[in-house]
Amino acid sequence: MPKVINTGIIGYGLSGRYFHAPFLKVNPGFTVTKLVERHSQSALELFPSAEIVDDYRKIADDPTIELAVITAPNIFHFAMAKDCLLAGKHIVIEKPFVPTIAEADELIALSQKVNRKIFVYHNRRWDGDFMTVRDILSQGFLGKLLEYEAHFDRFSPERKRAAWRDEPLPASGVLYDLGSHLIDQALVLFGKPEAVFADICVQRPGSKVDDYFHLHLYYPHHKAILKAGVFVKEPGPRYFLHGDKGSFVKKGIDPQEELLRKGHLPVGEHWGKEYPEYHGILNIISGEKESRETVETEAGNYAGFYKNVADVLAGNAKQAVKPEEARMVIRIIELAFESEKTKSIIPFTER
């Protein structure tokens, strides 16, 4: 019989409800036995036999629970993760990992000491468009890459007073929120940069946190440009890739988030498939011939994250998202804020 992992979910807001619970529900490798939900019992719709509790320690202290999924606000990540690790739990923790690399280093060292795993939820590695970009690069269609640009743009001009992400708290603001996705993707593709430059600012009237960034990661032969803003009513392409043999341009965004927010479970042969009008364009020169064609987007598959968690805990796979990689995302964010403060290019350093 396959191993079944008794799981507790700490937090049932947007992230817990839409980005974690559906995948735990459909994966037979997990059974959710306990959840923290303070204002209602809506989690019982998906997990009718689970127990609803009001304190994460009731999950940390439960000896029957093997995995704690932490989806609480960023400011609580470190303390909750530390308590769960000390209580003998493996943990899944929402991105961003923690506000600082000092906290990341402490948790990584602790996880090694207690022999428990940390899985950071960088689910956008399983975006269909990103997987397609990764494939385009791996096959060398563009030749020598010269420039990579990725966007995560939205139109959200009003500050949400009740949203903790818009409050001046550790790890709030758009760079920690959306930037962590784009940075993680760039690190997956290209590894550590040589230097970092960032323009980070506030565009919304009355905003107390950053809501725009334009980040440059410098590599030996190309530059990765990462951008996000909240005043993009008419978005352009999400990805631009230019090389000495041509370009790949991709519009649209992976459909999984929209489907999850509408209450769909991640099942069926059509899950994660994108509408053809959003497929990318590959325009290249091969020998003496020019070729311009549409590239079908791979189907997105956030379920791949939790499949990897189950496989790792069963001893059947290597970890797809290592905590050291998530720590590197936080380091880039720290350097980006230093760059904004000094208005300069900052050489990359580990700490």
Q: Give backbone dihedrals phi and psi of 309, rounded to 5 degrees, phi first.
A: -60, -50
pLDDT at 158: 82
Contact in structure between 262 and 252 (CB atoms under 8 Å) = no
**Positions in the chain short of pLDDT 50:** none
Q: Which residue bears the tokens 């796979």?
A: 317
Q: Give backbone dihedrals phi and psi of 304, rounded to 5 degrees, phi first.
A: -60, -30
Contact in structure between 246 and 142 (CB atoms under 8 Å) = yes
Tell me how far apart the alpha carbons of residues 216 and 135 are, in angstroms, rounded to a whole number: 23
pLDDT at 324: 98
pLDDT at 166: 80
Burial of 104 (0-12, 13-18, 19+ CB in 10 A): buried
Q: Which among 260, 75, 46 is positioned nearest to 35, based on CA atoms? A: 46
Q: Which residue bears the tokens 């494939």?
A: 135
Q: Considering only the top CATH level, what class is 128-253+267-300+331-347?
A: alpha beta
Q: Which residue bears the tokens 């992976």?
A: 254
Tell me the domain boundaries of the chain.
5-123+304-319, 128-253+267-300+331-347
Q: Which among 88, 94, 50 is positioned nearest to 66, based on CA atoms? A: 88
pLDDT at 248: 98
The CATH architecture that domain 5-123+304-319 belongs to is: 3-Layer(aba) Sandwich (3.40)
pLDDT at 160: 67
pLDDT at 228: 97
pLDDT at 234: 94
pLDDT at 138: 97
